[in-house]
């Protein structure tokens, strides 16, 4: 539930300015107006919710991917196989945000018809924050599930080489008067983006986040990122940390489960093969929607959700703490703050956006 820290010297960029710029960059690279708007919306949503590691700071990744041909700018998802409650989509190696949104829409549509809907996606790319897609189900009065596999960055328990991705899981559950429950978590101790944030800021990581090429804990974000880029060994630790003492094997199991649902099930790449081909990442996603009304009336469910969430927040607090948070609360609060005040971007992110703008002839202005 932790949120990013605002970097000293950050500039507050109005949401509309950042959105317009991001859409313009995608359009210049040949992405259709509709798909550029979708991709930009996912990136901006991450920044608004305090997940800067998956916001516009990631824009260079998509620019590079489209330019070198590893991402197809005009690709759309194609249904390969479907039943009343399931579907398999081929993303055509396009933007992950576009096919992911399509996949979640199909899952919701099927859940309206059959109470549950599940969609697997293959031949996709990085799709941004998983929470964006799980939250799509909230407006339909449904529980949303979203997950994706990713490039090998995580070292399995007792290993010293990254084999699995950070493989996030998100579940969104509607409530009544209370904010919805929105779990959006990597199955590693931290996502790679957080390590990148530390590297951009020139800061050391805490012990227990990652290991070096020998399999021992390190605080050097730069060394970890360099070794991962060259596949020299080392990597991020699974949720729980090193070994079994703090249940690192459970995070490892969750990461493997995600790779099964997102990779093996739809026929996407798994483990070391994700991003193993320079021409196609073959990332896989998995989406689910559960219609609450198939079990009980939605108002009654929301009433019980409110009671549950209030019970948690009203529980006795640990010494030195004034509040217990429920997953998603901090992000909703940050979004309410940033919409009128603007999104804080650190100097290095601003500079990278300026550089991209210069390259594709879309000037980046912070006001």
Q: What are phi and psi of 269, to 5 degrees?
A: -70, 160
pLDDT at 229: 85
Cα separation, 364 vs 367, in Å, equals 9
DSSP for residue 84: S
**Among 94-108, 143-157, 200-214, 278-292, the least confident range:** 200-214
- Residue burial 199-223, b: 16+ Cβ < 10 Å; e: rest: bbeeeebeebbbbbeeeeebbbbeb
Confidence of residue 7 (pLDDT cuts 50, 70, 90): low
Please tell me whether residue 2 adopts helix, strand or coil conformation.
coil
Q: Residue 5: pLDDT above 80?
A: no
Whose tokens are 């990652």? That residue is 210
Taking all residues of the chain, what is their mean pLDDT, rounded to a whole number? 94
Q: Residue 9: pLDDT above 80?
A: no
Please tell me whether residue 154 adopts helix, strand or coil conformation.
strand
Cα separation, 137 vs 142, in Å, equals 5
The DSSP code sequence of 184-243 is EE-SBSS-HHHHHHHHHHT-PPPTTSEE-TTS-EE--HHHHHHHHHTT-SBEEPBTT-ST
Mean pLDDT, rounded, for 224-240: 91
pLDDT tens, 246-303? 899 999 999 999 999 999 999 999 999 999 887 899 999 999 999 999 999 999 999 9
pLDDT at 10: 81
Domains for the chain: give ranges and CATH numbers.
11-295+342-360 (3.30.1370.60)
Q: What share of the chain is helix, strand, coil (3-state, %, to 5)?
A: 45, 20, 40
pLDDT at 246: 87
Please tell me whether residue 293 adopts helix, strand or coil conformation.
helix
Any idea of the CA torsion for 330, 143, 126, 156, to the nearest 10 degrees?
Answer: 80
Mean pLDDT, rounded, for 26-35: 97
pLDDT at 6: 58
pLDDT tens, 329-366? 999 999 999 999 999 998 889 999 999 999 999 999 87
pTM of the model: 0.93
Q: Residue 53: pLDDT above 90?
A: no
pLDDT at 87: 98
pLDDT at 193: 77
Mean pLDDT, rounded, for 155-181: 96
pLDDT at 1: 55
Mean pLDDT, rounded, for 86-106: 98
Please tell me whether residue 290 adopts helix, strand or coil conformation.
strand
Is 8 or 42 the better-scoring residue by pLDDT? 42
Under 8 Å CB-to-CB from 105, ≥6 apart: which residues? 136
pLDDT at 277: 84
């Amino acid at each position: 539930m932790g949120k990013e820290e605002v970097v000293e010297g950050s500039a507050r960029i109005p949401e509309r300015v950042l959105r317009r710029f991001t859409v313009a960059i995608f359009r210049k690279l040949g992405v259709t107006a509709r798909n550029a708007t979708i991709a930009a919306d996912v990136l901006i949503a991450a920044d608004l919710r305090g997940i800067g590691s998956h916001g516009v700071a990631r824009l260079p990744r998509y620019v590079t991917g489209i330019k070198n041909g590893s991402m197809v700018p005009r690709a759309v998802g194609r249904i390969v196989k479907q039943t009343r409650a399931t579907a398999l989509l081929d993303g055509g190696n396009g933007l992950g945000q576009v096919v992911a949104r399509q996949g979640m829409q199909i899952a919701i549509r099927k859940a309206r018809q059959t109470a549950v809907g599940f969609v697997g996606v293959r031949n996709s790319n990085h799709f941004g924050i998983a929470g964006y897609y799980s939250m799509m189900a909230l407006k339909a009065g449904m529980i949303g599930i979203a997950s994706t596999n990713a490039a090998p960055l995580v070292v399995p328990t007792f290993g010293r080489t990254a084999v699995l991705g950070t493989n996030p899981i998100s579940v969104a559950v509607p409530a009544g008067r209370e904010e919805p429950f929105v779990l959006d978590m990597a199955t590693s101790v931290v996502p790679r983006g957080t390590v990148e944030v530390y590297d951009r800021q020139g800061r050391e990581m805490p012990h227990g986040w990652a290991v070096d090429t020998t399999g021992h804990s390190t605080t050097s974000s730069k060394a970890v990122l360099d070794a991962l880029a060259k596949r020299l060994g080392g990597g991020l630790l699974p949720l729980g940390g090193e070994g079994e003492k703090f249940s690192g094997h459970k995070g490892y199991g969750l990461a493997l489960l995600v790779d099964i649902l997102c990779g093996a099930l739809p026929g996407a790449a798994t483990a070391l093969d994700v991003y193993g081909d320079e021409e196609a990442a073959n990332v896989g996603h998995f989406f689910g929607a559960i219609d609450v009304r198939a079990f009980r009336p939605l108002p009654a469910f929301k009433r019980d959700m409110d009671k549950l969430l209030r019970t948690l927040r009203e529980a006795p607090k640990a010494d030195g703490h004034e509040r217990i948070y429920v997953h998603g609360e901090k992000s909703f609060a940050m979004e309410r703050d940033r919409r009128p005040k603007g999104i804080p971007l650190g100097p290095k992110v601003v500079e990278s956006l300026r550089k991209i703008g210069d390259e594709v002839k879309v000037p980046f202005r912070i006001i």
